[in-house]
Amino acid sequence: AQKVTQAQTEISVVEKEDVTLDCVYETRDTTYYLFWYKQPPSGELVFLIRRNSFDEQNEISGRYSWNFQKSTSSFNFTITASQVVDSAVYFCALSEALDSSYKLIFGSGTRLLVRP
């Protein structure tokens, strides 16, 4: 069965701290895709990154970085030098190649609060 677990319900940090959001997934498919989305207080989900199961290279985009480890079925997201504007709910999601619905299976989200 497919499942995405974000065990951290809420994280609070002080500005400029580094913070890592955890994501663990379950799938029986050998080809799958992992995503991270950000949901600021305004409500819309903003796409951050997509990673396919054959590409285990870590990725860095500015202050954001992602660590994909198939061995532990994890796709963790780190924000370096956090800022108040990073405050949002972050969702990790899974999509399986064999699923004809293309649906995203979401974790329950992690609320990040960055305090000034």
Partner 1 sequence: DVKVTQSSRYLVKRTGEKVFLECVQDMDHENMFWYRQDPGLGLRLIYFSYDVKMKEKGDIPEGYSVSREKKERFSLILESASTNQTSMYLCASSQRRDSYSNQPQHFGDGTRLSIL
By CB under 8 A, tell whether 50 contacts partner 1.
yes
Residues 57 to 86 in contact with partner 1, rule: CB under 8 A: none
Q: By CB under 8 A, is residue 33 in contact with partner 1? A: yes
Whether the CB-CB separation of 86 and 45 falls below 8 Å is answered with: no
- Best CA proximity match to 76, nearest among 4, 3, 2: 4
Which stretch, 15-23, 35-43, 61-69, 78-86, contacts partner 1 (CB under 8 A)? 35-43
Segment holding 21, helix H or strand E: strand 19-21
Q: Which of 1, 42, 62, 71 binds partner 1 (CB under 8 A)?
A: 42
Which residue from 55, 78, 56 is spatially nearest to 65, judged by alpha carbons?
Answer: 78
| Gap between the Cα atoms of 7 and 109, Å rounded | 9
90 belongs to the binding site for partner 1 (CB under 8 A): no
Site residues for partner 1 per CB under 8 A: 4, 9, 33, 35, 37, 42-47, 50, 52, 91, 95, 97, 101-104, 106-109
